[in-house]
Amino acid sequence: MTDVASPERLLFASTAQSFLEKEASLTRVRELHDDGVSFDADWWRRAAELGWASLLVPEELGGGSVSGGPAGGVADLALIAEQAGRSVAPGPLHPVSTVLAGLAEAPDRHTDAIEALMSGEAVASWAIYAPGRSFDPLNPGVTATPTDSGFRLDGVSDRVEAGDRCDLLLVTAHCDGAVRQFLVPTDTTGVTLTPQQSIDLVKRYAAVTFDGVTVDAAAAVGTAEQTPAVIARQTRIAQILQCAELVGVLDTVIGFTIQWAFDRYSFGRPLASYQALKHRYADLKIKLEACRATAAAAVKAVGTRSADADFAVSVAKSYIGENAPAMIQDCVQLHGGIGVTWEHDLHLFLRRAMLYRSMFGTPEEHNVRVYTLTKEAGSKEVESAS
């Protein structure tokens, strides 16, 4: 587990770990898959009672974190995501946290929604993807047209996590030449939800169609001027949560792969005693620590709102997104024939890693972003020097 600095944070982490081991084990994940259910609503309410949904909300709005302050809230949330990765846990931790990150930036008129999300009584998700397009947060598939009393929403947003289980949607839309966001209840007339499957056993998505959906002016989240910064904040939160969770995934998979090498014998010797295999395990551990380090740097940069947060996040998404699936595939090979069976748990972790590789920017897209940010930084240094 990632190092925990204080006794309070250690207690918070151990409580989360115990809760997940008891209520969201790998066996439970398989049961949910067999039942065609993504998560148990009562389970999520109990998780929210542990404080999981309040970490990004400031204290004046009823939130707070163990570590204290905005930076501590981000770090604590990443710690929960890492724990969730150890059992590829179900639940709407990512979408709810991403929506709350936006509402916390522009809370006016939305305090009731914030309270409902923090208590676990409501579930929300971010409708940001446009059908047939890669992730581009400032180019959504929905249009908002001003009316006398508010706005009319038309269009489609897909890949909405837990969309079929949501009570609220934070919808990103084009509006009068700008990008705006609107909080829309899923039972609003004109909203149609179409479930979408994913490669993951319990992660479910939905395509949401908005056909003449009318909302009042109070549904808008923030002003047109605020919205780009709010979306940037939400994007960073969504991306570091994936990175942190994948650290938990990798730590767990590599751990039981190495244990397998000690337990499994060949020609009277444990597999772990063979030099060639030792090098492969060492390579996996080195890459794991590199993933942990890049994720930690991104979490810290986002928590402190560092000027290089976008760079740190893209480095983490690129490195972890590219390496995590390959590392788990290597673990599959190190397990031999049993590693490719349905009964073994390896594929549960591989599915989650492959899903996160494609969401909120692929490694290739983040490579381009790192290059662009580096080039821009270099141009600014040249300008300042001259």
Q: What is the DSSP secondary-structure string of 51-87?
A: TTTSTTS-GGGT---SS-HHHHHHHHHHHHHHHHHTT
Q: What's the CATH architecture for 123-223?
A: Beta Barrel (2.40)
Distance of alpha carbon 315 from alpha carbon 323, whole angstroms: 12
Please check whether residue 178 is in contact with residue 230, taking contact to mean a CB–CB distance below 8 angstroms.
no
Q: Which residue has the higher pLDDT, 19 or 8?
A: 19
pTM attached to this predicted model: 0.94
Please check whether residue 353 is in contact with residue 249, taking contact to mean a CB–CB distance below 8 angstroms.
yes
Q: Would the pLDDT of 133 be above 80? A: yes
- Best CA proximity match to 102, nearest among 194, 291, 233: 233
Look over the chain and give the mean of its residue pLDDT values, rounded to a whole number. 94
Helix (H) or strand (E) holding 248: helix 227-263
Q: What is the mean pLDDT of residues 174-182?
A: 96
Q: Name the pLDDT band for 372 (thresholds 50, 70, 90).
A: very high
Q: What is the mean pLDDT of residues 262-281?
A: 88
Composition of the chain by helix, strand, coil, percent to 5: 55, 15, 25
What pLDDT, on the 0 to 100 scale, is given for residue 68? 85
Please check whether residue 182 is in contact with residue 220, taking contact to mean a CB–CB distance below 8 angstroms.
yes
Q: Which of 11-25, 319-333, 372-386 has the lowest mean pLDDT?
A: 372-386
Q: Name the pLDDT band for 110 (thresholds 50, 70, 90).
A: very high
Q: Name the pLDDT band for 154 (thresholds 50, 70, 90).
A: very high
> What topology is assigned to 5-121 in CATH?
Butyryl-Coa Dehydrogenase, subunit A; domain 1 (1.10.540)
Q: Which two tokens stand for residue 19?
A: 């809760």
Q: Would the pLDDT of 190 be above 70? A: yes
Distance of alpha carbon 74 from alpha carbon 97, whole angstroms: 10
What pLDDT, on the 0 to 100 scale, is given for residue 2? 65
Say yes or no: do domains 123-223 and 227-383 share a fold. Answer: no
Answer CATH for 227-383 from 3.40.50.970, 3.50.50.60, 1.20.140.10, 2.160.10.10: 1.20.140.10
Distance of alpha carbon 360 from alpha carbon 321, whole angstroms: 11
What pLDDT, on the 0 to 100 scale, is given for residue 67? 87
Residues 233-261 have pLDDT tens digits of: 999 999 999 999 999 999 999 999 999 98
Distance of alpha carbon 54 from alpha carbon 52, whole angstroms: 6
Q: Is 126 exposed, middle or buried (0-12, 13-18, 19+ CB in 10 A)?
A: buried
Q: Is 209 helix (H, G, I), strand (E, B) or coil?
A: strand
Neighbour-count burial for 203-230, b at 16+ CB within 10 Å, e otherwise: bbbbbbbbeebbbeeebbbbeeeebeeb
Which residue type occupies 237?
I
What pLDDT, on the 0 to 100 scale, is given for residue 69? 81
Distance of alpha carbon 202 from alpha carbon 44, whole angstroms: 14
Q: Which two tokens stand for residue 284?
A: 């996996």
Q: Would the pLDDT of 4 be above 70? A: no
Q: What is the mean pLDDT of residues 215-230?
A: 96
Q: In terms of DSSP bridges, do strands 205-216 and 150-161 run parallel, antiparallel, or are they unpaired?
A: antiparallel
Q: What is the mean pLDDT of residues 144-162?
A: 96
DSSP 100-160: HHHHHHS-TT-HHHHHHHHHTSS-EEEE-BPTT----TTS-SEEEEE-SSEEEEEEEEEEE
Q: Would the pLDDT of 106 be above 80? A: yes
Distance of alpha carbon 302 from alpha carbon 242, whole angstroms: 14
What pLDDT, on the 0 to 100 scale, is given for residue 376? 86
Q: Which two tokens stand for residue 176?
A: 């009068």
What pLDDT, on the 0 to 100 scale, is given for residue 273? 84
Distance of alpha carbon 93 from alpha carbon 81, whole angstroms: 8
What pLDDT, on the 0 to 100 scale, is given for residue 6? 80
What's the full length of the chain, in residues?
Answer: 386
Q: Name the pLDDT band for 5 (thresholds 50, 70, 90).
A: low
Q: Would the pLDDT of 386 be above 80? A: no
Q: Which residue has the tokens 């009318």?
A: 214
What pLDDT, on the 0 to 100 scale, is given for residue 193? 96
Q: Would the pLDDT of 1 be above 60? A: no
Locate the domains of the chain by residue range: 5-121, 123-223, 227-383
Q: Name the pLDDT band for 266 (thresholds 50, 70, 90).
A: confident
- Best CA proximity match to 42, nearest among 160, 159, 164, 165: 165
